[in-house]
Amino acid sequence: MTTGREHPMTSAVSAADLAPTPYAQEIRATGLKVRVGRKRMAVDGLDLSLGTGVHGLLGPNGAGKTTLIRTLATVLRPTEGALELLGESAGGTGELRALRRRIGYLPQEFGYYKRFTVREFVEYMAWLKEVPGADIPAAVQRAVERVGLADRADDRMKTLSGGMVRRVGIAQAIVNDPAILLLDEPTVGLDPAQRLRFRELLQELGTDTCVLVSTHLVEDVAAACTDVVLFAEGRLVFQGTPDDLAAAGGTEDVGDSPLERGYSALLQGPGQGRGAW
Amino acid sequence: MSAEHASARIIAGYARGDTDLAADEVWAVEAHLEACRVCRDRLAAAVATGVPAVASLVDSVWSGLAPELAVTAPVPRRRHRPAWLSGWMTPAMVPWLAMVVGVTLLALLLDRAGSGSGFGLGSGSDGVSLVLLFAPVLPVLGVAASWSRGLDPAYELTASAPRAGLPLVLRRTASVLGVVVPALLVGGWATGVMVAQWLLPCLAFTAATLALGGVVGVTRAAVALAAVWAAVIVAPTLAAGGRTAAALRAGGLPVWGLLLALGIGVVIARRGAYAALGAHR
């Protein structure tokens, strides 16, 4: 017989799991404006509500997608308007620490330390995200396994291919089990097979997380997203299901698939579609 | 047996896989077994004595696994970067800190050579020490390296983390000073400069970099302050033929102290600014 500590019968469900959520939707923005530089409003009066699920953020280059995601990641402060994340106001200069612990973020330019191993890097990010010290090894292992890098976990980052580095980026974003996951162009550099696996991971995460994926690949949206947000020149152009987006396009619109035709039909408003690009 | 442990009936029932255990009892006993070593041992004993079918199954799995486990060499433990070290300094800072220490040593060597031969900047009791001349700007370079968009590849990730903000800035600044100050102490001791004479300007400049950095970005602040230092202190010193500038003499110490207090005050007042992207410019 071992000298195990006397443990009371534990409940398999913790109180935190049973607590009701104090918000209806994870992300709520009303009249959101974000200035970049001195003059340009990259996000210009956005009203947006996003709940649990996978949301695809589509839009032409320079539409303000990255600025919007940075604002939601709380690294940029809104110039005007209200932003509510997980029921808490994220607009002001208040304390963001508790909120940030529940957000996962993969920036467009994912920078990393070449000399770190995958595990060291994800551990370092877990430390930065204030994951309790005792939980870090298990959380890191789980995140690395979820992106399929368990066999490369102890290799240095500089030996990884571009697609693998991207997956490390996703692993660091999910290491703190976020309630809001923000991924800025996560599929860049992934080969087709990896992209399929990534879409599966997105769907899995979307069952209990609010995932916002910015992309310029319409097919990613069709395959993995429950909801499409079309964004152009800092404003919301369309929000709905991928089927709604496909229905918006007619046969006369430009594009190879129904979704692409819907995309170009919605962006052909006044002032849009200037020039060859 | 303590009332806090699962009863013998439940353990035995669980071992047999009986259907007479209610679903909630199975659920509860599994949750308990995960946390309780004593009951796991009792379960093992119950399986060994009461349920030969399960015991033989476990034995056959073990006998299948044992040869494979025997030939698999344990993975050699890799040299692991200690987690606390990453908490105090990012890899991006290391080359800059090495440079800072190198510059200190170089200044020290030049000082020694200058005073030995009567050539160079240091001549006589009024000659300026190169250590003194460089001390205030050296930590500024290290601080800039730890908060720079260009030098720290993971700057955006760091800025978005909950730990970002003043505590992390101070932590990294402290590790920069932890390397720079001992190097300067050796230099100051070797050249006979009073500690307060270089330490106060050094700390004042570091605080000013952080204070200004909250507004315009730490890298820009570092560059601006290094330029100011060169224009206000270094250039007049060189022009005056190596006489110690008035600001660096003992009489200037209260001013440096005041600047240090001011810098710290601004940093504390604007602590929210270090958690946004702006401070990384």
CA A67 remoteness from chain centre: 13
Of B159, B37, B8, B90, the closest CA to residue A2 belongs to B37
pLDDT at A210: 94
A85 inside domain: yes
- Pairing assessment for the beta strands A210-214 and A53-58 based on DSSP bridges: parallel
**Parent domain of A196:** 23-267
pLDDT at B246: 65
Residue A230, pLDDT above cutoff 70: yes
A4 inside domain: no
Are the beta carbons of B156 and A109 separated by less than 8 Å? yes
Percent of chain A with pLDDT over 70: 90
pLDDT at B237: 78
Average pLDDT over residues A219-231: 86
pLDDT at B278: 64
pLDDT at A169: 93
Are the beta carbons of B31 and A123 separated by less than 8 Å? no
A9 inside domain: no
Q: Left, alpha or beta for A253 (phi > 0: left; psi -120 to 50: alpha)?
A: beta
A18 inside domain: no
3-class state of residue A59 by DSSP:
coil
pLDDT at A182: 95
Nearest C-alpha of chain B: how many angstroms from A266? Answer: 33
Are the beta carbons of A124 and B153 separated by less than 8 Å? no
Residues 6+ apart with CB under 8 A from B30: A12, B14
A145 inside domain: yes
Number of structural domains (chain A) is: 1
Q: Which of A10, A70, A93 sits opposite B277 (nearest CB)?
A: A70
Average pLDDT over residues A249-267: 83
Q: Identify from A75, A101, A106 which residue to disrupt to test chain B contact, counting B C-beta atoms within 10 A and taking the largest count.
A: A75
Q: Left, alpha or beta for B16 (phi > 0: left; psi -120 to 50: alpha)?
A: alpha
pLDDT at A90: 80
User: Domain extents for chain B?
Assistant: 8-71, 84-280
pLDDT at A273: 45
Angle, helices B253-269 vs B195-216, to 10°: value is 30
Residue A114, pLDDT above cutoff 50: yes
Residues of A in contact with B27 (CB under 8 A): 12
In terms of pLDDT, which residue wins out, B132 or A264?
A264
CA B236 remoteness from chain centre: 37
Q: What span, in angstroms and rounded, lies between the C-alpha atoms of B30 and B23?
A: 11
Average pLDDT over residues A1-20: 59
Q: pLDDT for A24-40, tens place per residue?
A: 888 999 999 988 877 88
B41 touching A, CB under 8 A? yes
Q: pLDDT for B169-206, tens place per residue?
A: 888 888 888 888 888 888 778 777 777 778 888 888 88
C-alpha count within 13 angstroms, C-beta hemisphere, residue A43: 27
pLDDT at A220: 81
Residues in chain B with pLDDT values less than 50: 1-2, 116-126
Beta strands in chain A (DSSP E): 27-36, 40-50, 53-58, 80-85, 88-89, 103-106, 180-184, 210-214, 227-232, 235-240
A1 inside domain: no
pLDDT at B242: 63
Are the beta carbons of A113 and B153 separated by less than 8 Å? yes
- Span of A118-122, A150-154, B78-82 with lowest mean pLDDT: B78-82
pLDDT at A105: 95
Are the beta carbons of B32 and A10 separated by less than 8 Å? yes
A192 inside domain: yes
B63 touching A, CB under 8 A? no
- Say if residues A175 and A143 touch (Cβ distance below 8 Å): yes
pLDDT at B131: 74
Which structure tokens are listed for A276?
A: 């060859």
- Say if residues B28 and A9 touch (Cβ distance below 8 Å): yes
**Interface pTM (ipTM) of the complex?**
0.80
- Say if residues B92 and B141 touch (Cβ distance below 8 Å): no
Are the beta carbons of B157 and A111 separated by less than 8 Å? yes
What value does the mean pLDDT of chain A take?
A: 84
A153 inside domain: yes
Residue A3, pLDDT above cutoff 60: no
Q: Which of A9, A109, A116 sits opposite B32 (nearest CB)?
A: A9
